[in-house]
Structure 1
């Protein structure tokens, strides 16, 4: 840049307070402030640098290069940052300055339409002034702040990228939280995301400023302003570790009806990226997959269906029929169920590795299954244990779930007849259909109509390890209500992220929060398991998560449903004409 066109930066308090510099006493105080804050040294570095006078993009790149503070995690930024359209990047603020310049430098390599909402103190760097939208966080009601917010909105409405540090100040020890983290986040990012329908990308920076900085900030908060630029220079030669999360779309954010909840959600999504609290699933025990068993053949299926008592044909719908039977009645169909279970479970990283998924409980449990009438294809099944029969001898080991959970004597399965539900599946070819899940539940409904002593269902929803551990922990924190009646033999234990704990304790009752957390975490955008949603509609109570050592160490969430208390709309759908009789049984017994 030509020196006739550019006035060098004056990295000094004098440039921020030019009117005060006209008075001798204030001029002296500002000069002392420059020395205390290290601005004089920063000015010397600037004067002797190669970035002096460069256009803002080159200035940011060269400053990061000369400070020898390379950014780690750029690949994820390149992969996750949308290439077009309005985007807000929200991040924590552990260092107070250098991470903002580093982030802007990397974002500008991907997109040219970048602005940073920044503290007006950074106006000292004249080369960066066109990159920044300045705000005064110390004076929230300052008129210039309103103009800054209008500029932010205008930039987003022009499909630009806006980088925000919603805390508005550097991280420090927060006495109320008893940890070093950002202070309360301003809701500006949430407001802008909603009003401009912008996508949001969460970014987390690892680390903190020095212990000396944190100590002085605890003594007097304003002392951190004195130390901030010294901390920036002390970071010379240090790597900046950046973690980038999944793009949070307006569709995901719209499930958070309240701006306050959205603001807290954005913060939680940023801090969820903290590697200190990441948990990796253990290596699969199943390393070798045997070929699937051969299908048993349609003639054997047809023969066994014809031999079933007619009352075991539960319901039909659009060319499909749901039946139930016991292994001694339908031994070949149970083999086909076991074969298809293994095929489906392998797709979710839950396969046994054997030719079929079977165990000793297949012989003692009821098998509810769906057959396509014309082709005789098996499209889905559910396994149900009748506790009044299985526990006649009082032996809890007759229950599959006793391997996962320790049931106390006052748990429902020992207080009344229950159905223990498990091993459900729909084959891939029909998983996107409505009728698959509908027929399973229609079958369950007709089964309890025929056996009205079963007022409660309990079982687990298996949570595939294709979910991140963060998503499983969200489900655990938001849905479960621990009980003294049951506990997991092998609990799901992950490092406790205090930011996640803060968020879930505050918002667990809000509709849409769990789906927003999971969809905003999973790279493929998947929501909570379909079966979990189904049980939620029925008013399920969730107890805890246990690890199923017999199911490739898959997490399973234990739940129960009191059917007579379920919403009448669902009961009518699944119990149909038998609903009144089923509910009347409750009154008579």
Structure 2
């Protein structure tokens, strides 16, 4: 039997519902909030927040050291717990706004009622039907513009449970946003709790607690909100699987709730802010000019102490570039004890006054004379056998190469190779190039295993180099090594590229370029190890014979006419022809030579 449809509700029901609504509004103190919004509707978003916190007599407290954990530029995702409600958002907006004004906030219906804040807000419907897709699109766009995105992954206010006042399940969508923009994630723990009455009502009826949430802002005075700021976390790789993202979401949530008790959290340091530009320009002017590139950039050679402006900027830019591909030292600057006695090959943009990229160079004969075998960085990762040690006087160690992300879609890496060629012309006694070349741990494990297996098969140690080097922490396969058809290199390479493409990655640029530089057998990876101090990346020890470089490559990089686009004089030359690597994209440049 079907009941007849009711076209309109009875009058008594409409009246009761209206009365209940007015009662709830009074109980929730919505009238007080509305009066405040009307009185301050003329204010800018950040001024409105400041006035609102003053009206509520609320202050946040944060350690001066932890303040510096917010990167001063670039895309950033800030996540926080949500113990109080709108007060959390107001305090965090003011805190982040003291450092950066390029802020967007994923906000629910309640926060959207604060009209002066709307320029900062991206609405996510909670109390009514609607799609959050528009807000997510705007969030992605904000991160692509290099802005800050603040959100509460739980999507609702914390409730009281067996573990105390805690957020509900965190939604891992913030990690997908961070992964797409390769934005670091900064967790912030907000201290505080609502009244026991609020938690009691929430247990009886969760929506009732939500409706009465605004009242919690007005229940007392002299509110102090302690903020604990964690160190930035690396985003997952853009192609990360769902299980990887969910595991990282749980880990970040756990670390956030450990912040109030921890003197330090286990994340990485914020990359150092730029130093004095005038001091850097003066330091660059004291380096040796090797030549100009066709587009007017300068290739230079220099060295410095660890506290010099030159090495400070090199270390800062290294860390930025390496973190962008899932590597990095985790320190504010990537510098070590080897830098002062190595030379630095630099690519400098004199128009923008910025460092584009660099290579670290160590002449074997000099390092042996001044520091012995232990003076080589490679010996921290690999034990070099007698055969290699005997060849060190004729070797040049390469390492720590990078191109900053702004220049990935350019010929910058090739320009550095022109600089290496110019350096080799000065040192004709050098026969060998060597050093660790890294594969990012951000790549899926099957991809790393396939890369190691393929390069070990076709470019590994031959009979003449057996036991020439051993990794101090050898790379180990999770199971059986991938099968490689050693009979046909080109067919095996096609298969490798196809398998990597299925996992959203490709052959690392430097592995590709080093092996393509030489005739067969000229470039070999003698051992593969894991570097725990460099985000657990996989290092292959390259050993390259300069006498086996392909003639065309030698003519291009080493025996090159210095007037063909790389001039020792102070003027740019004519544009060179298309290079062996005419473009470098962020998708290709997954590896930075460590």
- The bucket for the TM-score relative to the shorter chain is 0.3 to 0.5
TM-score normalised by the chain length of structure 2: 0.46
Which structure has the larger Rg?
Answer: 1
